[in-house]
């Protein structure tokens, strides 16, 4: 993969005279209208696409996927495509579930060297926050109102996000196209506007009062009369368009050391926050070799290492599936015993949300360090404790996820997977907006996690993004999101690695969601999509369960998981992509 120079002036000089146009003006006849329309659609099955030159798949944002594909059509690589897609996704959602000041996790297989690189651009805590347990806030999944947060709005709930730093760093290391070109589709969406779809209209209806609290947010995100946007309205974001142009010109320093940074700190401190310009200036992304484990027959799984807690959890879950015999028996959709095993295994992710003392009491004598949890020996010992039921199954969920996924692959064999998130509930209760960019409140429900990290340190992230290798060559890239991301990743990989499914079948096979938890009794109920599982199989698990119809999606309060994947055959070079099988996901290729 071509390495770009890291000096921005040198990068700008190299791009002169060869500046591509990634906007919809360069797409084929009628394609803009087609992808604007697909933004309004809701799938019942995975979108699929195949080609030999490149492919992009997304959990949300069909229009963004097409924008990313254009990056490869104009000579870019998989990194250019993934970053273009992610930038466009944020503009399409008005910064509600994802943000340019959110977080990013990236896993990249570099075909030229055969190495898997990981980039952590997750949250930094605030250096001056010395009493994180007193940060206002709190939420639960018992109702929509509770999900939107409790407590007073506070600048102390903001953390230092790395999304734009991540975009800049990934492009500096691997991008081929001029940096500014990656922003073109997002600027076009913000300036020209796009119809509000059902999902965004629902978000607006929930958060309208919070969005109206501060003058700048009200001006940026609501109509001139102060009302919320509704389905079909054209949403334009001129302030955001101007900010993105400035970032495209000056790089991420504009947000972390320049004028935008000063505005952010002023707004956060006006709301009682303790973030400073030094917190922004000190932020750096972290590059590391992948955490690699052998899973299945001849497969290796490469994912982000600690402090990415999700990478540890997904490897542990695959080892547990082997220890439990889940990979050798009937599929979990056909067997009550197998389904119960799968449910208990995926509940182990909750170990990251309890104190070390509580975890030690639940699993006495077991080493639960990140290093131990990714070994097969650990899985054997752990399954011996889990086989009669997980002691974590009744614990209350404390980690909502609002995010998006991108996976891209190019003709050279490079595969890139990205998960990015605002990591709070729909803009956040504080609802800060700086020149069109949303600032979430992720510390409002992660007080204990912030307290466990040194001030100014990197917060562990639950994202599960990775690459599957066979004989040293990448054959699959995947990314996941949603509160049920761990459950969805576990099932998708199980289907692909052990049951021989294509990426399309791996997505479309019935899946279970994250459990619903009663906030008063802390009892968990398994949740399944309506009509997808045999009721006899569900009843045979011996645990409480319920079904959720498609129209009840919002009542699930984020329990659904999303998993997208791109497969590339090293033998034929054919690239096959599959999107999520719900919402306005899409897969495109050429």
Q: 268 falls in which pLDDT band (50, 70, 90)?
A: very high
For the stretch 118-163, pLDDT in tens is 999 999 999 999 999 999 998 765 556 666 788 899 999 999 999 9
The answer to whether residues 281 and 297 belong to one domain is: no
Distances (CA, A) of 92 to 2, 86, 149, 150, 310: 30, 10, 24, 27, 26
Q: Is the pLDDT of residue 15 over 50?
A: no
Residues 293 and 264 occupy one common structural domain: no
84 and 26 within one domain:
yes
Q: Give residue 6's pLDDT.
A: 46
| Mean per-residue pLDDT, 257-283 | 97
pLDDT at 207: 94
Per the structure, how many domains does the chain have? 2
Q: Is residue 405 part of a domain?
A: no
> Do 417 and 544 lie in a common domain?
no
Rounded mean pLDDT of 244-272?
A: 97
**Is 582 within the bounds of a domain?**
no
| Burial grade of 203 (CB within 10 A; 0-12, 13-18, 19 or more) | buried
- 55, 136 in Cβ contact below 8 A? no
Q: What percent of the chain has pLDDT over 90?
A: 80
Q: At what angle do helices 238-250 and 78-92 cross, to 10 degrees?
A: 150
Predicted confidence at residue 555, as pLDDT, reads: 45
Q: Is the pLDDT of residue 277 over 50?
A: yes
Does pLDDT of 395 surpass 70? no
Q: pLDDT value at position 358? A: 79
Alpha helices (runs of H) in 418-527, residue ranges in sequence order: 447-451, 485-498, 503-508
pLDDT higher than threshold 50 for residue 7:
no
Q: What is the Cα–Cα distance from 352 to 399, expressed in whole angstroms?
A: 10
For residue range 333-369, list pLDDT tens digits in order.
999 999 999 999 998 887 876 777 778 888 888 999 9
Question: Does residue 307 register a pLDDT over 50?
Answer: yes
Q: Which of 388, 421, 451 is the last residue of a domain?
A: 451
**pLDDT beyond 60 at 17:** no
Reading the block at residue 511, the tokens are 């899946």
Three-class SS of residue 118? strand
Residues 404-419 have pLDDT tens digits of: 899 999 999 999 999 9
Kindly tell me if the per-residue pLDDT of 554 is higher than 50: no
Question: What digits encode the pLDDT tens for the residues 44-85?
Answer: 999 999 999 999 999 999 999 999 999 999 999 999 999 999
Instruction: Return d(Cα 81, Cα 73) in angstroms, integer.
Output: 9
Residue 296 or residue 570, greater confidence: 570
Check whether residue 320 and residue 423 sit in a common domain.
Answer: no
Q: Are 431 and 505 in a shared domain?
A: no
Residue 459 lies in a domain: no
What band does 531 get if pLDDT is binned at 50, 70 and 90? very high
Are 314 and 489 a contacting pair, CB within 8 Å? yes
pLDDT value of residue 66: 98
What's the confidence (pLDDT) of residue 350? 79
For residue 380, being part of any structural domain is answered with yes
- 192 found inside a domain: yes
Contact (CB, 8 A) for 522 and 395 = yes
Structure tokens at 283: 């932020």
- Answer yes or no: is pLDDT of 226 > 90: yes
Phi, psi of 273 (to 5 degrees): -75, 160
Q: Which residues of 465-503 are buried (b: 16+ CB within 10 A; e: fewer)?
A: bbbbbeeeebbbbbbbbbbbbbbbbbbbbbbbbbeebbb
249 shares a domain with 394:
no
- pLDDT higher than threshold 90 for residue 520: no
pLDDT band at 389 (very low <50, low <70, confident <90, very high): low
If asked whether residues 420 and 500 sit together in one domain, one would say no
**What does pLDDT average to over the chain?**
91
Mark whether 389 and 474 lie in a shared domain.
yes
Least confident of 53-57, 354-358, 429-433, 528-532: 354-358
Q: Is there a single domain that holds both residue 80 and residue 131?
A: yes
The answer to whether residue 216 scores a pLDDT higher than 60 is yes
Would you say residue 158 lies in a domain? Answer: yes
User: Which residues, in sequence order, are bridge partners of residue 477?
Assistant: 467, 566
Statement: residue 12 has pLDDT above 70: no
First to last CA, the chain: 20
CA distance readout (Å), 188 to 57, 80, 183, 206:
21, 17, 9, 27
Question: Is the residue at 227 inside a domain?
Answer: yes
For the entire predicted model, the pTM comes to 0.94
CA distance 200 to 400: 18
Residue 2 belongs to a domain: no
Q: Is residue 398 pLDDT above 50, yes or no?
A: no
Instruction: Determine the structural domain holding residue 317 and report its residue range.
Output: 288-399+465-569
- What DSSP assignment string belongs to 270-303? HTT----HHHHHT---EEEEPEEEE-SSSEEEEE
Beta-sheet strand order (sheet of 524-529)? 516-517, 524-529, 545-548
Residues 261 and 300 in one domain: no
Same domain flag for 441 and 469: no
C-alpha pair distances (Å), 111 with each of 82, 115, 587 = 16, 7, 22
* Model pLDDT for residues 482-505, shown as the tens digit of each residue: 888 999 999 999 999 999 999 999
């Amino acid at each position: 993969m071509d390495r770009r120079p890291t000096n921005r002036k040198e990068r700008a000089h190299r791009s002169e005279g060869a500046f591509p146009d990634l906007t919809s003006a360069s797409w084929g006849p009628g394609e803009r209208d087609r992808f604007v329309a697909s933004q309004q659609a809701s799938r019942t099955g995975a979108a699929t696409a195949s080609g030999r030159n490149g492919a992009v798949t997304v959990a949300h944002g069909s229009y963004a996927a097409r924008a990313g594909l254009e990056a490869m059509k104009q000579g870019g690589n998989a990194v250019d495509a993934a970053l273009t897609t992610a930038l466009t996704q944020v503009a399409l959602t008005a910064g509600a579930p994802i943000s340019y000041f959110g977080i990013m996790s990236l896993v990249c297989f570099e075909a030229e060297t055969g190495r898997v690189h990981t980039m952590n651009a997750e949250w930094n805590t605030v250096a001056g926050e010395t009493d994180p347990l007193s940060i206002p806030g709190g939420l639960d999944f018992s109702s929509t109102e509770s999900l939107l947060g409790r407590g007073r709005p506070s600048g102390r709930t903001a953390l230092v996000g790395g999304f734009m730093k991540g975009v800049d760093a990934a492009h500096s290391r691997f991008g081929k196209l001029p940096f500014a070109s990656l922003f073109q589709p997002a600027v076009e969406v913000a300036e020209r506007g796009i119809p509000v779809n059902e999902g965004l209209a629902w978000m607006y209806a929930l958060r309208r009062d919070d969005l109206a609290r501060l003058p700048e947010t009200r001006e940026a995100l609501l109509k001139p009369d102060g009302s919320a946007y509704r389905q079909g309205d054209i949403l334009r974001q001129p302030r955001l368009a101007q900010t993105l142009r400035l970032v495209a010109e000056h790089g991420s320093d504009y947000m972390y050391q320049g004028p935008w940074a000063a505005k952010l700190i002023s707004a956060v401190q006006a709301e009682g926050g303790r973030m400073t310009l030094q917190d922004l200036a000190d932020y750096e992304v972290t590059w590391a070799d992948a955490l690699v484990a052998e899973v299945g027959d001849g497969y290796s799984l490469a994912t982000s290492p600690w402090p990415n807690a999700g990478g540890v959890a997904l490897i542990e879950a695959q080892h547990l599936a082997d220890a439990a015999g889940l990979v050798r028996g009937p599929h979990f959709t056909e067997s009550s015993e197998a389904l119960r095993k799968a449910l208990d295994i995926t509940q182990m992710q909750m170990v990251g949300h309890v104190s070390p003392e509580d975890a030690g009491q639940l699993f006495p004598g077991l080493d639960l360090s990140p290093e131990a949890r990714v070994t097969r020996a650990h899985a054997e010992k752990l399954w011996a404790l889990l086989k009669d039921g997980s002691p974590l199954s009744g614990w209350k969920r404390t980690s909502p996820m609002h995010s998006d996924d991108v996976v891209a692959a190019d003709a050279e064999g490079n595969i890139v997977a990205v998960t990015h998130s605002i990591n709070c509930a729909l803009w956040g209760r504080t609802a800060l907006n700086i020149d069109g960019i949303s600032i979430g409140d992720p510390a409002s429900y992660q007080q204990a996690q912030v307290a466990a990290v040194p001030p100014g340190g990197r917060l562990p992230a639950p994202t599960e993004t990775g690459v599957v290798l066979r004989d040293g060559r990448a054959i699959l890239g995947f990314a996941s999101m949603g509160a049920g991301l761990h459950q969805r990743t576990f099932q998708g990989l199980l289907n692909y690695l052990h049951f021989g499914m294509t990426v399309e079948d791996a997505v479309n096979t019935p899946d279970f969601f994250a459990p619903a938890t009663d906030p008063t009794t802390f009892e968990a109920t398994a949740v399944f999509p309506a009509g997808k599982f045999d009721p006899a199989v569900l009843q045979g698990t011996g645990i409480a369960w319920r079904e959720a119809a498609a129209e009840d999606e919002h009542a699930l309060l984020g329990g659904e998981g999303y998993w997208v994947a791109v497969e590339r055959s090293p033998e034929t070079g054919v690239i096959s992509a599959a999107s999520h099988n719900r919402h306005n996901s899409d897969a495109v290729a050429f």
